[in-house]
Amino acid sequence: MSEQKTVLIVEDEKNIVDILRFNLMREGYRTLEAYDGEDGLNKARSENPDLILLDVMLPKMIGFDVCRTLRQEGNNVPVIILTAREEEADKVLGLEIGADDYITKPFSMRELIARVGANIRRSAMISASSAETSMPVSGDLSINTDSHQVYRAGKAIDLTQREYELLTFLASHPNKVYSRVDLMEQVWNYGYVGDDVRTVDVTVRRLREKIERDPANPVYILTRRGAGYYFSV
């Protein structure tokens, strides 16, 4: 690793923190730890980590509130939520409040390290790739790729980082249909996807709610039944 990256671990179970710290350090990461939500939020603000591993059930402030607060403050640090169980509601809520990813406990360390790496690389790629300024898009939708701002009829639309990436990816390949597995690989940078393709559906639904006039009858991001999603022009 050319430049050492810092991972902030926000988790109240000390044995999990110890295992995470050990494995992340072995992979060349610097780690910071916080054992409650308030301290996690403070360290996220003051230490500027490259990624946050965020437990949900935490003393003082739950993980969802930590993530929501950071996003409200305009902080786009990649956040991976650590969910205690395979709970659909937790995953959906996590993605809706702007988390980039989630991983279910008990997790395989190999999987977690892969996700940490993928999310840090993706975030670095985005900050480096602001060469193109404006993307031709459909109807009254426009994207400024310098400011990462999306407009509909001249009105700014507030998207999460992931929603923005999904939209720009699809819009830059108009009318090409991508399966959910394709999108997991291209937009989420995952080699292994398993049943996580549901993440794509949730993100598409959120995106439609924001960019479409009538989310139930979308005109931009369309579904090709049994095949996937595409940006229609």
Stretch that binds Ca ion, among 11-19, 143-151, 173-181, 223-231 (CB under 5 A): 11-19
Residues in the chain: 233
Q: Which is nearer to Ca ion, 10 or 211 (CB)?
A: 10
Q: Which of 6, 12, 38, 152 binds Ca ion (CB under 5 A)?
A: 12
Site size toward Ca ion (CB under 5 A) is 3
Q: Any contact of residue 90 with Ca ion (CB under 5 A)?
A: no
Site for Ca ion in 17-56 (CB under 5 A): 55
Name the residue among 173, 171, 183, 177 with its Cα closest to residue 138. Answer: 171
In terms of Cβ atoms closer than 10 Å to its own Cβ (0-12, 13-18, 19+), residue 36 is middle
Site for Ca ion in 121-160 (CB under 5 A): none
Q: Any contact of residue 65 with Ca ion (CB under 5 A)?
A: no
Least separation, in Å, of the C-beta of 62 and Ca ion? 9
Q: Which is nearer to Ca ion, 55 or 163 (CB)?
A: 55
Give the 3-state secondary structure of 148-204. CEEEECCEEECCCHHHHHHHHHHHCCCCCCECHHHHHHHCCCCCCCCCCCHHHHHHH
Q: Which residues bind Ca ion (CB under 5 A)?
A: 12, 55, 57
